Amino acid sequence: MSLPRFDPADYPAQLADKVARFASDFAPLGVSAPEVFASEPLHYRLRAEFRMWHHGDGLVDYAMFAADDPKTPVLLEDFPAAAAPICALMPRLRDALRADDVLRRKIFQVEFLATLSGELMVSLVYHRALDEAWAVAARLLAERLGVQVIGRSRKQKIVLDRDWLLEEFDVDGRRLRYQQIEGSFTQPNGGVNRQMLGWARRQVMGVGGDLLELYCGNGNFTMALAPLFERVLATEVSKSSVRAAHYNLEANGIDNITMVRMSSDEISDAFAGGREYRRMKDVDLANYRFSTLFVDPPRSGLDDATVTLARGFDRILYISCNPVTLRDNVAALADTHDIAAAAVFDQFPYTHHLEAGLLLTRRTAGG
């Protein structure tokens, strides 16, 4: 697979092809025409990372590698997929690295993180230990460029100011705030993410009751969905994501969410009456009136225990980054649930990747 071409003229046809493949794959499960949420054709990525290619006398350039030729660098002058602030920063940062041997020496990779609210972070990754001279040069770089700068090498991370950004945007007239920690997962396409949150809210509007959310991350969906339910029990296994989620609870003034750091198989076991979990000691599952299960799993999808757990819910709201495992999971639930709504979200234009959302509702007797 070659590196993608970012031509807005090609985008509608490419998206149509992906949607057609999705509709064909899910037609046997009852999906006819999913709701389609397109991306901006350019400057849509809030995250981008590049290898730094060394050549000549003090010269470094951004580089990427094609999957069909992983040894030959493709040197980049720009990257039209990246958010406009990243694109504007790229040449300034490259020139600064070229001019400073302390910052340039053995630099291996550069990672950019931007927000819709205008904050920007750069992580510089090295094949050498970072010392005080690097910290002094990096602090000057951060001040000159007006960004947060992080330095990383093997078993080392240097934070000059803070290692997180604060994202802010509106969904359905409500301002949402999210701490995004360097190195943790965040949604790459900010515009499409807002559309995903709006769609998810519409699927459960007026349902009420309590919500169980698995794989909640930093609370991206949690903060948007919580006001629609009486209580939310949200689980996540990543320590940094749980830490960010707790920050986000306070930043958004939400008090009906209980967070527990547990994996999906652990929470499934707890629901099934398995062993006692110390992290669940303050959670009385019998007290909840769960109406809805929300899942946004990794590419591997739901494991068998979580599929079994899902069978017990009248509504399952499923966001997926992998239509293959989504189809497998939904097929496994076909004897108990029907697809009531379907949507696709084009987080990654010009690639084969397509995010999807399904609302599953319990089949009625004789259905």
Q: Which active-site residues does the annotation give?
A: 321, 355
CA angle 190, 203, 226 (to 5 degrees): 70
**Is residue 21 classed as helix, strand or coil in its secondary structure?**
helix
Residues 6+ apart with CB under 8 A from 150: 121, 122, 123, 124, 157, 158, 159, 160, 163, 182
Under 8 Å between Cβ of 281 and 256: no
CB neighbours of residue 87 within 10 Å: 19
Task: Give the CA distances from residue 225 to residues 19, 194, 253, in Å, rounded to whole numbers and listed in that order.
Answer: 26, 12, 13
* CA nearest to 49, candidates 114, 115, 143: 114
CA angle 211, 217, 223 (to 5 degrees): 50
Q: Which residues of 311-350 are buried (b: 16+ CB within 10 A; e: fewer)?
A: eebebbbbbbbbbebbbebbebbeeebbbebbbbbbbbbb
Question: Are residues 178 and 184 in contact, defined by beta-carbon separation less than 8 angstroms?
Answer: no
Structure tokens at 118: 């205008």
- Residue 195 CA to residue 180 CA, distance in Å, equals 19
Which residue in the block uniquely carries the two structure tokens 């909640």? 216
In residues, how long is the chain? Answer: 367
- The DSSP bridge partners found for residue 123 are 111, 150
Question: Could you tell me the CA-to-CA distances from 280 to 123, 234, 260, 266, 276 in Å, in that order?
Answer: 36, 12, 7, 10, 8
Continuous segment of H or E residues that includes residue 50: strand 47-55
Amino acid, res. 223: M
Q: Which two tokens stand for residue 141?
A: 């770089």
How many Cβ atoms are within 10 Å of 231's Cβ, its own excluded?
17
